[in-house]
Amino acid sequence: MCMRIGELAARAGTTARTLRYYESRGLLPGRRTGNGYRTYDERDLKLLRQIRTLQDFGFDLEETRPFVECLRAGHPEGDSCPASLAVYRRKLDELDVLIGELQSVRAKVGAQLAKAEQAREALAADAAVPGGPEPVCELGGQEL
């Protein structure tokens, strides 16, 4: 029922270094045995898995804090508390904004690509025409 840092890390798919880091940030408790080793139980594993899940979603460590505190307060789930729900909502808003921006960028880059490809095709077509292309000065003068 108890385990040391290496085992907990392995069971959560992370590293001991990461757990020490979380502890330094005040997220993971850190009880000790007589010899100074950290010791953890199943509740810590649940805590840690909550953190990792949120991290995988792209939450900052700080944003996982309400969830952790909620669990530590004895609630059944990390998102049983209002503060956690607030983080969810804030994150949803952030995601909506970000996704919108990325879609906008995607559209612009796509348009630029289409334009540039078209320009190249026009050049290629010109070059293929026996009459010769307009002297557009493209690729002119200075070599590399």
Partner DNA sequence: TGTTGCCCTGACGTCGGCGTCAAGGATTAC
Partner DNA sequence: GTAATCCTTGACGCCGACGTCAGGGCAACA
Q: Which residues bind its own copies (CB under 8 A)?
A: 57-58, 69, 72-77, 79-80, 84-85, 88-89, 91-92, 95-96, 98-99, 102-103, 105-106, 108-110, 112-113, 115-117, 119-120, 136-144
Alpha carbon of 133 to those of 115, 119, 139: distances in Å?
19, 13, 13
Minimum Å distance from CB 20 to its own copies?
Answer: 23
Q: How far apart are CA 46 and CA 8, in angstroms?
A: 10
Residue 69 identity (one-letter amino acid): E
- Burial letters 90-105, b for 16+ CB under 10 A, else e: ebeeeeeeeeeeeeee
Q: Which is nearer to DNA, 42 or 117 (CB)?
A: 42
90 binds, among DNA, its own copies, none (CB under 5 to 8 A by kind): none
Angle at 123 (CA atoms; ends 117, 129), nearest 5 degrees: 135
Binder among 1, 36, 139, 142 for DNA (CB under 7 A) = 36
**Coil, helix or strand for 124?**
helix
Minimum Å distance from CB 142 to DNA?
Answer: 24
Q: Which is nearer to its own copies, 34 or 56 (CB)?
A: 56
Candidates 56-64, 91-99, 110-118, 129-137; binding stretch for DNA (CB under 7 A): 56-64
120 binds, among its own copies, DNA, none (CB under 5 to 8 A by kind): its own copies
Question: What residues contact 32, with CB distance under 8 A and at least 6 apart?
Answer: 38, 39
Minimum Å distance from CB 16 to its own copies?
Answer: 27
